[in-house]
Amino acid sequence: METQTQTIKKEAKVATERMTGAEAVIRCLLAEGVDLIYGYPGGAIMPVYDELYKYQDKLSHILTRHEQGATHAAQGYARASGKVGVAIATSGPGATNFVTGIADAQIDSTPMVCITGQVGSHLLGSDAFQETDIIGISTPITKWNHQVTKAEDIPAVLAKAFYIAKSGRPGPVLVDITKDAQFGELDFEYAICKGVRSYKPVPETDPKSLEEASKLINEAKKPMIVFGQGVILGEAEKELISFIEKSGIPSAWTILGLSAVPTAHPLNVGMVGMHGNYGPNKLTNECDLLLAIGMRFDDRVTGNLETYAKQAKIVHFEIDPAEIDKNVKADVAVMGNVKNTLSQLLPLIAPKTHDLWLQEFRDYDTIEYDKVIKEELHPSKEALSMGEVLRGINEETKGDAIIVSDVGQHQMIACRYAEFTKSKSNVTSGGLGTMGFALPAAIGAKMGAPEREVVAIIGDGGYQMTIQELGTIFQTRVPVKIVVLNNDFLGMVRQWQQLFFDKRYASTEMVNPDFVTIAKGYHIEAKRVTKREDLQGAIAEMIASKEPYFLEVCVEKENNVFPMIPTGASVSDIRLS
Amino acid sequence: MKKENFTLSVYTENNIGLLNRISAIFLKRHINLDSMTASQSEIKNVFRFTIAVKVTEEQVKKIVLQIEKQIEVIKAFYHKEEEIIYQETALFKVDSKLLFEERQIQNVIKNSNANIVTVTPEFFVIEKTGRRREVEALYHKLEPYGLMQFVRSGRIAITKEKMDISTLLENFTEETV
């Protein structure tokens, strides 16, 4: 019956092309402008892989060594390029290995389309080999997901998937395609999705909210900006910088907002949050106006909400209505894409400077420099510090590199000390805190921005969570630079154990393998540095290399990252030691 | 803020998985639902979930926004008790011999505005629609006689005021996927 109907359809529409669902998947990707995907084959996705073989001149497939690696690579690709990352895997364990990457992309708003194979539709619910309910599993961690059981549904579903992933507040979507839908035939026709009737990606901006915001801005004596990734996702960097410069407002960033404004900008006052800078955290509780631009008041940013910026009026520039008043109550909510709202706001504000107020930030900087930064960047001790490695990288890259960091102490050090001149340069797992993110994400970042230097900064713990992706680097020769800051500890957990658990170092000391030998086993040039006098030369050699390069730096074992806002404490209770 | 009874009206596309997506929002926040029903709404192919839950108003506001954020949710609302007309339906299965042996049971049925929907030689079924306390009052009256089965539906509710969904839905055109 079905074949009959399809034959009739084919006769009616001569413009369409007859093909299998599997081929349609590839053709949809090509129609969306995708030329690179990450994945791992397996039984239930084999028809699609068979088509990938045929289309390999148009669509590159990067074989990662684990499906989790494919998702993080797709994330890195998306974050560095601004395009949608695509990952593909088989059913069952292939699909479940996607879960961490999907959850990471969801909480960090990364546009990603994940395609999974599924057992034949007649087997659904029978506990067939490699059957798992990936729709059920991925529901709470996807922006949207959908199971396709008929070949003819593939084009419309994938079109919708791409539209949803990249529009509004971006996020991951998952499309699960049964094996019979891949084998089945359809008349292929592709139309880019332009809207979904139940979904409004960008809310309308109320002109009144802009007026109220501008009034507060023009009257404020001690205004402060905290910007987040919304600026980068909305490609609003220029608009933000114009706004900052005209208003003269000191501007701090969240970890995911980093690089939207050059780190050397005179009004850039550093990072807010748990390991952020002293000034912006302290002064959050002294400003009279807090402008939150494309950020979501994560608990790692706010510390104790009961004592967060209570004295200030709060204006929240946001694309997602569910973020308004979620954690911090806004006095004015400016809805919309920040690119539009900031450019509409610009003519409404008076040009100003806030020199005395800015000086307060700089005074705190001096305190922080003397108590923390100086020793971190120019240690007086014999042991190497993580900070001086970052300083060395800054010297070689001049702030032009994409820095991909993993999760832990090294991540905080990288975000605190890396210098940036360009946007989309800081790729890190912010919301989920996924150890193992950086190595595969760096692969994706380099492929997403091949003209740029990509340096992964990873701890010895996180590195071993996805170390198998060295195989992907070996096979593709993607020239990523990998720096492992090795302190033979799960350093951040150890720091907490030291500060809050009376130095009971439960399961945080690592007995590590010879990382250099492992890298060399993958034919990656590798070096280990243990002494200060060898550091800069090794970094220079790494950056100069046109090939993938691995650099292990053995650093101080029991160093702590400061400043620090202890959990549950107020931002103004930030500690310098 | 005090916990109150709230009723949510959620208009959605008729898609597999949406029930899961909506209930996951409560699960993530460790909130137990009093009831959830799903049915066709006044618009063809648009579904309406009615969810009853006891939370603070601050919580329900955030939950509604999270529900509305889901791609295939068209619109979500929350209502206080006084803003809606709401009902539940219960079915009671009772041994037929009680109708003759315990004559007062007939008065109980008559006085509670319940209907007998079926009678067989073995059992009869009483249907009662109303507020929760009315259903519960009948339950307590019948329970001493012995109930063979009892079941109660989730809450369904209609608002007194017009919801701004109506005009939105009128403009909806047919859409596939």
Whether A317 and A210 have beta carbons less than 8 Å apart is answered as no
For residue B84, list its beta bridge partners: B159
The residue count of chain B comes to 177
Confidence at residue B106, expressed as pLDDT on a 0 to 100 scale: 87
Residue A12, pLDDT > 90, answer no
A130 flagged as catalytic: yes
Residue whose tokens read 């539709």: A121
- B176 and A156 within 8 Å at the Cβ level: the answer is yes
A200 flagged as catalytic: no
Reported as a single tens digit per residue, the pLDDT across A220-274 is: 999 999 999 999 999 999 999 999 999 999 999 999 999 999 999 999 999 999 9
Residue A9, pLDDT > 70, answer no
Confidence at residue A10, expressed as pLDDT on a 0 to 100 scale: 42
Residue from the list A136, A144, A321 with its beta carbon closest to the beta carbon of B20: A136
For residue A513, give both structure tokens: 């393998």
Reported as a single tens digit per residue, the pLDDT across A420-469 is: 999 999 999 999 999 999 999 999 999 999 999 999 999 999 999 999 99
Confidence at residue A6, expressed as pLDDT on a 0 to 100 scale: 42
- A325 and B74 within 8 Å at the Cβ level: the answer is no
How many Cβ contacts (< 8 angstroms) between chains A and B? 54
Confidence at residue B52, expressed as pLDDT on a 0 to 100 scale: 98
Confidence at residue B45, expressed as pLDDT on a 0 to 100 scale: 87
A179 flagged as catalytic: yes
Mean pLDDT of A509-521: 98
Reported as a single tens digit per residue, the pLDDT across A335-359 is: 999 999 999 999 999 999 999 999 9
Asked if the ipTM is above 0.90, the reply is: yes
Residue A160, pLDDT > 90, answer yes
Strand-pair category, B156-159 with B84-95: antiparallel
Q: What is the dihedral of CA A489, A97, A514, A402, to 10 degrees?
A: -80
Confidence at residue B176, expressed as pLDDT on a 0 to 100 scale: 45
Backbone angles phi, psi at A291, to 5 degrees: -100, 110
For residue A413, give both structure tokens: 């050090």
Nearest CA to CA, how far is A144 from chain B (Å)?
7
Q: Which residues of chain B have pLDDT under 50?
A: 176-177
For residue B138, give both structure tokens: 């009948």
Residue A207, pLDDT > 70, answer yes
Strand-pair category, B3-13 with B73-80: antiparallel
Reported as a single tens digit per residue, the pLDDT across B1-41 is: 899 999 999 999 998 999 999 999 999 999 999 999 999 99
Rounded CA gap, B64 and B49, in Å? Answer: 12
Could you tell me which chain B residue has the CA closest to the CA of A167? B71
Contacts of A197 in chain B (CB under 8 A): 74, 172-173, 175
Mean pLDDT of A305-326: 98
Cis bond before residue A563 (omega within 30° of 0)? yes
